[in-house]
Amino acid sequence: MPIDLTEALTQLREGRCDARTLLSHSLERARSPACERVFIRTFFDEATAAAAQADACRASGQPLPALGGLAVSVKDLFDVAGHPTTAASATLADAPAALADAPAVARLRRAGAALIGHTQLSEFAFSGVGMNPHWGTPLNPVTRVIDGRDRIPGGSTSGGAVSVATGAAWAALGTDTGGSLRIPAALQGLVGFKSTARCVPLDGCVPLSPSLDTAGAISRSVRDAALLHGLLAAQALALTPRGLAQRRLLIVTELMQDELEPAVAQAFDRALHTLSAAGARIEERSVPAMQRISELQAGGGLPAYESWQWHQQRLATRGDDYDPRVALRIRRGQTISSDQHQALLDARRRWIHDMTLALNGFDAVISPTVPMQAPEIAPLQHSDETFFATNARLLRNPSVVNLLDGCALSLPCHRPNELPIGLMLWRTGGHDAELLSTAAEVEAALTSITEAH
């Protein structure tokens, strides 16, 4: 198993390696065929300077920066000073260089991150599939090693996830509006954490749906996710282990286990059995409020209306330059009035209230992150019907948490040499530290499944 960010930082602090050497390994992988179409633009010289600065700190006896001069990638939605932000769209190809870092980027930079480049995404982050017709789609590097087929990376943080899976980056800054961190993490065997939306500022980030957008990271472990969340949220965060026997986990009977691929159903059942054997108290019950989700998503819901407000003028002048599938989804918002938008916001608030009551007392809800493994790219390229059906299936489970304004984490639950499958833990908003603590214990229990012996 490759080491995670936390272990790499330990090795740096103990003097067993240096940041420049680790960065050179990352940049070698970033330049490799496995990272083809992953980076829209690179910041390799700046990253090298950051690594050198971290080494200089350690050499002079100063404390090592929190991220130690290690490689971190940035989704091409966030402003990075001196570089354009183009949201992987041809319509922003002539965007000027940003004058300042977005706050989320600035926090990582101050923590000593070696920012290595802007990564690929679904245009304007508007898809859970991760395909981009303008700059090309990065291939899923994990599944390719297993079966040699060209499969989707998951989206919208497609390039960010691939940068972590290939070792080009130790972590990837991304966004999550309906699952855009958790979907690619699930399909590539990584950890994706969606925090409560208000935790991390989104200034300097191209919006999709401001009511649902969240900034966060993809990483290799839960402890990495906790470290990165603490830095991005600018708050001290410590995991508080209680033991799985003290955890109450809930399985909701509605929606989340519907129409699972057989491999996903088997992996989910295996994970539940493993967690039960480790002492977790798992209950299954109906949550009637879940049946109202379709009302909140009718007509494209909040993303359609809110993205239309941002894009309508650009669509009028540059519509032919959009990915047609993205433009189609955005244009659904022109049929939603401001009164209907307000009604959606009001209905969402009532739904969050009812869901909060129903989930009270549980440490987490547990479900498959997505109901499928990564499909092959070719059928999705050639059929709009297949593409939109797949996109809807990928978004179905994780988008529940965005509507809830909750926090959620996807972690691997598949066996070695199987196509990756994600297990999602989620709960209502404001309980990020508690969810990460639960997830760390779940991750430890699942090592009997996920690690080769």
Active-site amino acid positions: 75, 156, 180
Q: Return the closest-CA partner of residue 188 out of 142, 224, 249.
A: 142
Q: Which residue has the tokens 């191209």?
A: 206
CA distance 71 to 69: 7
In this structure, what are the phi and psi dihedrals at residue 183, rounded to the nearest 5 degrees?
Answer: -65, -55
Classify each residue of 224-242 as buried b or exposed e, where b means 16 or more C-beta atoms within 10 Å of its C-beta: bbbbbbbbbbeeebebeee
CA distance 439 to 408: 9
Tokens of 366: 């547990």
Tokens of 292: 């109202």
Q: Which residue has the tokens 């709009």?
A: 384
The H-or-E segment that residue 54 falls in is: helix 44-59
Other C-beta atoms within 10 Å of 56: how many?
A: 12
Residue pair 369/410 in contact by the 8 Å Cβ criterion: yes
Residue pair 63/12 in contact by the 8 Å Cβ criterion: no
Q: Rounded to 5 degrees, what angle do the CA atoms 18, 21, 24 make?
A: 145
Tokens of 383: 């059929």
CA distance 280 to 274: 9
CA distance 26 to 64: 19
For the chain, the residue count is 453
Q: Return the closest-CA partner of residue 229 out of 256, 267, 196.
A: 196
Other C-beta atoms within 10 Å of 135: how many?
A: 20
Tokens of 333: 């918002």
Tokens of 19: 């940041």
Q: Return the closest-CA partner of residue 424 out of 411, 414, 436.
A: 411
CA distance 100 to 278: 48
Tokens of 321: 């330059």
